[in-house]
């Protein structure tokens, strides 16, 4: 799932500590949302066509666990590489700015003026800031990273933490829709219980997410339930159609 807006905005009001915990919240949201939704929908889809096999619940559980393994690894490793990429990108841009401040001081001056011009600040008014920055090369580079390139330094150790957080959240999310297929021998009962507890879990998750991100709680809960419900209905109907005509 693409980045949630928790990542960008509210974090920067606060301190570094809050920023990190906000990124962890974002990773939990990413993992839980897909972990609840996709295994739920897949299990419902297979449950709809597995009735003819000898042990339908077992087939749902095997396919569901295979999906959880695949999804958690794909998302966790994907998150790891994306975070690593962010860090490498930041570092290479930082080295480039460090060189440019020394080697092309006039170009950097022009860039500073350009930044301020966008906000109607002319050269005379921007010059004192430029002179201050030029007296302090580290601050100059920091300023360009943030205000020319819009880059924040990623927290150290973030990549690995992000990978584990996403993967574990996906696994936790995925066990909720699958557990009824382990507990109930009737596939119909299992499907109904799975639908009930997963929609409930999606509603609770959506409400908590809304609260943490500052969105309306009820709307957030309904949206999360709707995504899960639509995905599951589509998977269920598609599997049924294919099974009938296959």
* Residues from 102 through 121 that contact a copy of itself (CB under 8 A): 116, 118-121
Task: Please report how close the Cβ of residue 160 comes to a copy of itself at its closest, in angstroms.
Answer: 13
8 A C-beta contact, residue 175 and residue 41: no
For 170, other C-beta atoms within 10 Å of its C-beta total 29
DSSP 9: T
The H or E element spanning position 233 is helix 217-245
Q: Is the dihedral of CA 31, 234, 236, 241 positive or negative?
A: negative
Closest CB to a copy of itself among residues 125, 211: 125
Q: What proportions of the chain, in percent to the nearest 5, are helix, strand and coil?
A: 85, 0, 15
d(CA 181, CA 194): 8
- Residue 245 found at the interface with a copy of itself (CB under 8 A): no
- When asked if residue 126 is in the footprint of a copy of itself (CB under 8 A), the reply is yes
Number of residues lying near a copy of itself (CB under 8 A): 99
The one-character DSSP state at 186 is S
Give the three-class secondary structure for 118.
coil
Sequence-separated (6 or more) residues with CB below 8 Å from residue 13: none
| Contact stretch for a copy of itself (CB under 8 A) within 55-63, 99-107, 189-197 | 55-63
- Which of 90/189 has CB closer to a copy of itself? 90
Identify residues 224-243 at the interface with a copy of itself (CB under 8 A): 226-228, 230-232, 234-236, 238-239, 242-243
CB 130 within 8 A of CB 113: yes
- Measured CA to CA in angstroms, residue 205 lies from 60, 81, 116, 148, 194 at distances of 24, 26, 43, 37, 16
Residues 66-105, mask of contacts with a copy of itself (x by CB under 8 A): xx-xxx-xxx-xxx-xxx-xx-xxx--x------------
Binding-site member from 28, 166, 195, 199 for a copy of itself (CB under 8 A): 166
Q: Is residue 185 part of the contact set for a copy of itself (CB under 8 A)?
A: no
Identified binder of a copy of itself from the candidate list 95, 104, 110, 132, rule CB under 8 A: 132
**Which among 61-69, 102-110, 183-191, 192-200 is the span making contact with a copy of itself, rule CB under 8 A?**
61-69
Applying CB under 8 A, which of residues 4, 100, 109, 153 lies at the interface with a copy of itself? 4
* Residue with smaller CB distance to a copy of itself, 136 or 186: 136
C-beta of 149 vs 193, nearer to a copy of itself:
149
């Amino acid at each position: 799932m693409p980045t949630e807006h928790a990542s960008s905005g509210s974090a920067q009001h606060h301190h570094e500590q809050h920023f990190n915990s906000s990124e962890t919240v974002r990773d939990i949201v990413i993992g839980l949302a897909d972990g609840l939704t996709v295994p739920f929908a897949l299990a419902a889809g297979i449950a709809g066509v597995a009735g003819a096999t000898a042990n339908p619940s077992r087939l749902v559980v095997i396919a569901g666990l295979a999906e959880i393994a695949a999804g958690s690894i794909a998302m966790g490793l994907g998150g790891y590489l994306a975070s690593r990429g962010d860090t490498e990108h930041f570092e290479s841009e930082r080295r480039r700015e460090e060189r440019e401040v020394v080697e092309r001081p006039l170009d950097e001056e022009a860039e500073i003026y350009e930044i301020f011009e966008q906000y109607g600040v002319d050269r005379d008014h921007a010059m004192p800031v430029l002179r201050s920055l030029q007296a302090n090369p580290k601050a100059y580079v920091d300023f360009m990273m943030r205000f020319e390139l819009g880059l924040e330094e990623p927290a150290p150790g973030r990549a690995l933490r992000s990978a584990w957080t996403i993967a574990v959240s996906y696994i936790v999310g995925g066990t909720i829709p699958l557990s009824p297929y382990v507990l109930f021998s009737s596939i119909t009962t299992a499907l109904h219980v799975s639908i009930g507890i997963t929609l409930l879990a999606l509603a609770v998750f959506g409400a908590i997410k809304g609260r943490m991100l500052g969105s309306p709680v009820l709307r957030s809960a309904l949206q999360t339930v709707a995504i899960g419900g639509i995905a599951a209905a589509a998977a269920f109907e598609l599997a049924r159609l294919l099974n009938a005509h296959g």
